[in-house]
Structure 1
Amino acid sequence: MTDLPPSPLPPTIIVVHPREKRSKCSVEPLRGRPEFLFWKFPNRGPQPLTSYVRLGLGGPLLSPADSPHGLLLLDGTWRLAAKMEQSYSQLPVRSLLPWQTAYPRVSKYDTDPAAGLATIEALYAALTQMGRPTDGLLDDYRWGKEFVEKNAGLVERCLNGIL
């Protein structure tokens, strides 16, 4: 019997709302990396979503058991992302542990939940909980080091498989 190489992980799909400013988008530096695909809402790419889970609120916690699945994230303000959810309601929802943002929040409408994360923070948290690599993910994020420091306990728990 021959050893087969490990099958590649499905790419993470980031669905960006058209009103999201690319210049302020925390995941913009990831464009061009093969492990990330960007779709502009409401358009979809050709990739089937049959084996994907969606990061959201109210679902079971993301865990290493979800690692073989693709991950879909909605990128926009909380208000815009809530409007986008219906288009992906067929995907099972997975949630995050209580990560703390390092992003200095300022909302004109006070619609961000207290525990809200920047998209890059949510992506880092999700991949960490899934046991996937996060190499270089926060390199271009101004508050990346602070985010990891604030959440060192959660990172440690995830690395040790304690969710």
Structure 2
Amino acid sequence: MLYEVILDKGETPNKCSVAALSYRKDFQIIRVMGKNRLGPLRSAILLHHEGQCLTSISKSVSEIAVVDCVWRQLDFLLSRIEAPLPLFARIPEGFRTAYPRRSVGDTDPSAGLATIEAIFVASAILGKWDASLLSDYYFGQKFVEINRNRFLELGVMQAGDVNSLPVLKHRVRNSVQRRQDRGRIK
């Protein structure tokens, strides 16, 4: 699976849930700067809260696009992407976040997921369970555990296998590493 992440200039790499994955070859992080148009995107689907439910989309999808921004910026960023836009696809209801986020203006929806959680769920529903997506996050295993029943209801059986859970990999997370991660996001 390949992932296109449109990252708003207002998202700081320290708080961005996908910044830690900028080293992965299956992630293309597109940083929005200036007023230039973006795209067009290669992905067949774009995760969006008003899209078609992922459970009704073909499992042959091999690329997923997401926009990582504050909610009030979403429509503006979408308007900057060149046509044709990918099919909007949404995560089925019932998933709970494990990411410790906090919106300054309290604008996040109560049932919203962190970008990395949404990517993980979409990939799993489309038949590509990849525990390594969450292995850079201390909350990764907790996310799968609190959503295990929902995954199983949707036929994602790996969620019930303890050997398929994300395992936090040891990675130095000091100030030098964080600066390097920020530098990977252009």
Give the alignment's TM-score, normalised by structure 1: 0.80
1:92 Cα deviation from its structure 2 partner:
1.4
1:65 Cα deviation from its structure 2 partner:
0.7
In 2, Cα distance between equivalents of 1:77 and 1:139: 24
Q: What percent of counterpart residues are identical?
A: 33
In structure 2, the partner of 1:149 is: 145
- Which residue, out of 29, 34, 40, partners 2:31? 40
In 1, Cα distance between equivalents of 2:101 and 2:41: 32
In 1, Cα distance between equivalents of 2:130 and 2:79: 29
In structure 2, the partner of 1:130 is: 126
Give the alignment's TM-score, normalised by structure 2: 0.71
Query: What does residue range 90-101 of structure 1 map to in structure 2 within 5 Å?
Result: 90-98=85-93, 99-101=95-97
Q: Flag as ranges the 4+ runs of structure 1 deviating above 6 A.
A: none
In 1, Cα distance between equivalents of 2:75 and 2:43: 22
In 1, Cα distance between equivalents of 2:155 and 2:116: 18
- Unaligned stretches of 5+ residues in structure 1: 1-8
Distance 1:49 1:107, change over 3 A: closer
- The 8 Å contact of residues 4 and 43 in structure 2, kept in 1 or not, is answered as no
In structure 1, the partner of 2:110 is: 114
- Unaligned stretches of 5+ residues in structure 2: 158-186
2:62 is the counterpart of 1:65? no
Distance 1:51 1:78, change over 3 A: closer
Aligned length: 149
In structure 1, the partner of 2:3 is: 12
- Which SS does the other structure have where 1:81 is aligned? helix
Distance 1:83 1:124, change over 3 A: same
2:73 is the counterpart of 1:80? yes
Amino acid at match of 2:126: M
2:87 is the counterpart of 1:103? no
1:154 Cα deviation from its structure 2 partner:
2.2
Deviations 1:88-122 (A, max 9, x none): 47221000012111123322212111111111111
